Amino acid sequence: MLLFNEKHEQLNAETVAADLANLDDVATPTDTEVEAILEDYYKQALQLEGARRGFTASFSAPAFPGIRDILDAIRKFICGILNEGSTTQQIIDAILQAIATVIPGGIIINLLVKPIIKYILSTGIKAFCPVNPA
């Protein structure tokens, strides 16, 4: 999995995951706060990726996904590989993999990723990944 910082420098996934495991100073966000964080995160990553590729400041994505779509994409990704027995580290790794897939450029912005991880851990995998009736 390739992860990058805001300057598009490649990050070591293990180091990032270890840093993100320390969530003691992070408040648990509400559903609404997580949606706002994801919206801000996606927009920032899109701007950073656009600037890296030489697009002007007026560039905007023609098909900006809805915030619910972003959260659903993250949910679909991690719920496909996690279960109630998953460890905190496995959950963090899965979230990083999902973000590397969903967020433009695989950009990791710690201040925005930490509340997302805290939210999912606080919600619990069973509640975050509801079982669909057959």
List pLDDT tens digits, range 10-55: 888 889 888 888 898 999 999 889 988 988 888 888 888 877 777 6
Please report whether residue 77 resides in a domain: yes
Number of structural domains found in the chain: 1
- Considering the domain boundaries, does residue 58 fall inside one? no
Q: Confirm whether 115 is domain-assigned.
A: yes
Residue 80 lies in a domain: yes
70 falls within a domain: yes
**Predicted local confidence at residue 13, as pLDDT:** 87
Domain assignment present for 49 = no
pLDDT band (50, 70, 90) for residue 65: low
Q: Can you give the residue range of the structural domain that contains 115?
A: 66-129
pTM attached to this predicted model: 0.81
The confidence score (pLDDT) of residue 118 equals 95
Evaluate if residue 92 carries a pLDDT over 80: yes
| 87 domain-assigned | yes
Residue 114 belongs to some domain of the structure: yes
pLDDT in tens, 23-33: 989 999 998 89
One-character DSSP codes across 70-106: HHHHHHHHHHTT--TT--HHHHHHHHHHHHHHHSGGG
Q: Is the pLDDT of residue 62 over 50?
A: no
Closest CA to 17 of 125, 100, 134: 100
